[in-house]
Amino acid sequence: MTDYSEEMPCLVKTGQGFSLSYKNRFLYSKYSPDRAISGAIDSLTILPGTLILALSPALWLGLEKLLQKLPQDSFILGIETDEKLHNIASEKLEQLKKNCDNSQKSNFSSSNSTFGRVFLLPFKENDYIVNILSGEKLLDEISLPHISTFRRAIPLEMSAGTQFDKENYASLSRLAQNTIASYWKNRITLTKLGRLYSRNIFKNLANLPSAIDFNNLLRQIKRPIFVFGAGESLEATIKNISSEEIKKCFVIGVDAACPALKASKIRIDAVIALEGQVAIEKAYIGASAEDSIIFADITSRKQVTGHTKKSFTYFATKYTDATFFKELGQKDFFPRQIPALGSVGLTAVYIALLLRENINIPVFVSGLDFSFSLGRTHTKNTPAHIARLCSTNRFRPVENYDAAFRAGAKQFAGKNAISLYTDTALEGYAKSFDDVFSGTPNLYDAGIQGLPLGIERISQEKLKAFLESLEVTNSEKLGSKEEKDTAQEKKLKKAEEIRRFLEKEEKALNRIKELLMFGKDVASCSRSLEEELNELISPREYLFLHFPDGYKCDTKSISFLKRIRSQIDFFLKDIKNGLKAES
């Protein structure tokens, strides 16, 4: 019997090649080491644009067969979570590359370009797989192409080494798959709304000098905070707990929930506004936010901040990693950035946690159901509910049954075993809520129905008893006259910085327009036309971020340049209006 160590991986000779033994087990068959991985590769369907996640590659058995099956635009990323096995995998991969270069008889291509699509994730970088795939973290050892190259990631167990760390391999595989899936979901969103977001940024810049600095509001709330979404559990909460008790809390409402809270005579201290489209104006009918401070995203509809008589502030959702947004984020006048959470409800909770004075102050959440009951989608008195009431007739009932039976909708038993419906998007928001806020101290789910949020639940009875025990305290003076009218010198400085930024962008866009119209006749002597266009367009992704192929700046394409030309006038108009407002 072959002698081998249980502590160190050892090669074991078999009748059909070498196997590997480690921790008292064989990582490949003792009889035909490559049989299992060969069968797994045969069963794979590898479409173009695939990233193969080679889990525990060890001796890289089956790599030859996998490369022969791999489409030209697909790549292989080896992942090894055991340091000893990682060292073996690294040495073996280098050896295979050398053999490929030196041996003309190899079944691999004699060119190293074939192995140029095979990489091994450095052992110490396993936890950064998301950053590496997204391009946020660059490594000398790995030169994976831009994430837009990939449409999917497929995990492939290359050896039994995965059995030593099943959960970690599964987690890394999910992270890689979710990173690629999220990228394409974001691309779809940007294709639909990217130009609107970018134009809203330019429109809102003129308002920034008049806004309260978001950073000055952090850690200011000393009372319990209540965050309300527009889901049906909001209705149950405001029915069981009186408005007088709720007023003891600092109340934050998402924009769509404002009419419902106003109808129940609940004072709304802060409104969270994310939406950039005109449809959200319905949420402000009836002056539902006139006595609230409005927290508006820099990409939200400009007119939203005009619905308050109190004050407003801006924050910036990081909706893109584009160069222009990064450069804006470094400007002193640009508002505080927060992660892109996808949902106004999640953003409201995130901001609530920033506003509370310390982690001992409780934050209660209701109306963030991410689900709906048969015939309904939102709580009463929300814009969706009112619109349904207004449009109902004998052919169109007030109950919205379509939502429960649309593609992707499914039934489930939610909190308290209440039968509800959800869909893929809403379910994704609930999962995101769990991922972001699970384990947050003193964050409580006060909703009686909906998808689980991954935070501690509190019953209506216990919540009511807690609020009754509180004393009425004076409201914080967020957005007071003193805070709103900051030092005139500081306000003027910010306005001047914004004016200079807008003038710079106006000059650059006019130059791009000139080059596209007259070409080489007006090109610079020191640079070619293509070089100057690329230099001007590539850091201004707002011009093309919403293109279907907007993940790249292709100034060599006539089609791309024609589309760029069609966008310039829209942004020039917004910039000129912003400069007029500043003057």
3-state secondary structure of 358: coil
Residue-wise pLDDT tens digits, 317-369: 999 989 999 999 999 999 999 999 989 999 999 999 999 999 999 999 999 99
Angle at 521 between CA 520 and CA 525, to 5 degrees: 70
Residue-wise pLDDT tens digits, 33-68: 888 888 999 999 999 999 999 999 988 988 989 998
3-state secondary structure of 317: strand
Q: Tell me the whole-structure pTM to 2 decimals.
A: 0.84
CA distance 398 to 387: 9
Q: What is the pLDDT of residue 111?
A: 39
Tokens (6 digits) for 70:
């791999």
Residue-wise pLDDT tens digits, 541-563: 999 999 999 988 999 999 999 99
C-beta pairs of 324-333 under 8 Å, 24+ apart in sequence: 324/539, 324/540, 324/541, 324/542, 325/541, 327/539, 328/201, 331/497, 331/501, 332/494, 332/497, 333/205, 333/208, 333/209, 333/494, 333/497, 333/498, 333/501
Residue-wise pLDDT tens digits, 285-297: 888 899 999 999 9
**Percent of the chain scoring above 90 in pLDDT:** 57
Query: Which DSSP string do the residues of 256-296 spell out, in sequence order?
Result: GGHHHHHHTT---SEEEE---SGGGGGGGTTSTTTTSEEEE
pLDDT surpasses 90 at 168: yes
Q: What is the pLDDT of residue 377?
A: 83
Residue-wise pLDDT tens digits, 139-165: 888 888 989 999 999 999 998 889 988
Enter the CATH code of domain 10-183: 3.40.50
Q: Bigger pLDDT: 489 or 361?
A: 361
Query: Which DSSP string do the residues of 34-97 spell out, in sequence order?
Result: THHHHHHHHT----SSEEEEEES-TTTTTHHHHHHHS-TT-EEEEE--SHHHHHHHHHHHHHHH
pLDDT surpasses 60 at 223: yes
Q: What is the pLDDT of residue 103?
A: 54
Tokens (6 digits) for 207:
């308002």
Mean pLDDT of 444-456: 93
Q: What is the pLDDT of residue 1?
A: 40
Band of pLDDT at residue 418, cut at 50, 70 and 90: confident
Residue-wise pLDDT tens digits, 86-100: 999 999 898 887 877
Classify residue 213 by its DSSP letter: P
As annotated, the residues of the chain forming the CATH 3.40.50 domain(s) are 10-183
Tokens (6 digits) for 425:
């998007």
